[in-house]
Amino acid sequence: MITGSLVALITPMMDDGSVDKSQLNELVEFHIAQGTHGIVAVGTTGESATLNYEEHADVIRQVVQLVKGRVPVIAGTGANSTHEAIDLTKRAKQAGADACLLVTPYYNKPTQEGMFLHFKAIAEAVDIPQILYNVPGRTACDMSNETVLRLSTIKNIVGLKDATGDVIRGQSLITAVSDQFAVYSGDDGTAVDLMIAGAQGNISVTANIAPKKVAQAAEYAMSNQPEKAKAIDAEITALHESLFVEANPIPVKWAAHKMGLCGEGIRLPLTPLSKEYRSQLEDAMSRSGIAI
């Protein structure tokens, strides 16, 4: 089972929007050195919505090659087309990813039965561990705990990234699923609380900027040291909030740029962080002990 702080890695880009492969290498090394427990390549934070098909597969392949087995790599391979999600998942398996992360089908708003059949079809088509991803705030599609429970009986569906921010709902699911099924937080602001309640890790945006503290908080939360986990998390609470003043990954890419981790490149329709929010994010970074 993959556990701990799993960074939802940004995809570094040049000023013209092309993928910066050299900087990607440096980002991978940075996270391993800082104690990040695993890397999620080309999730929402990695701008999966605007990378073309070949770029998507290529970034996954490059991250796997750079990591060299030192930490697990989870590939974002979800789509609102079942056929496309199957193909991306096959390519992630070929690249050597340890698992895949599959978001609920966005925009077309399937029924609960439609979501069940969608994920079942992907699991049956590609024999690789698969983690479901529920983020209704972005997809307009909310997968119920009941649907997750049905899917959890499929052997290679091994977990759920819960980005609802509803700890009580997440705790209810943790209680209901088997010990072989992992629930991960996908909401930095409530991640420590969910891990204290039994979640197996945090797929984190904040970890791009404060990897060591996010990893330490996860370690404490999952080893029955809640006060230590909360104390570390309190140091970066302002960062959790400020990294979402505009749509993710706009703020986190700007923050990473300020730290010298990547350039300013981001793809339309996303744009660099608005000037009105920059001082707020700089202040949050400073209060979190991040040098810029």
Distance CA(135)–CA(203), nearest Å, equals 12
Tokens of 252: 């986190």
The verdict on whether 107 is a catalytic residue reads no
258 touches 292 (CB < 8 A):
yes
The verdict on whether 133 is a catalytic residue reads yes
Largest CA distance in the chain: 48
Query: Within the chain, where are the H helices?
Result: 21-34, 53-67, 82-95, 112-125, 136-139, 145-151, 167-176, 191-196, 211-222, 226-235, 237-242, 250-258, 275-287
Kindly name the residue from 90, 93, 106, 161 that is annotated as catalytic. Answer: 161
Distance CA(78)–CA(141), nearest Å, equals 13
Kindly name the residue from 90, 93, 106, 133 that is annotated as catalytic. Answer: 133
99 touches 181 (CB < 8 A):
no
Q: Which active-site residues does the annotation give?
A: 133, 161
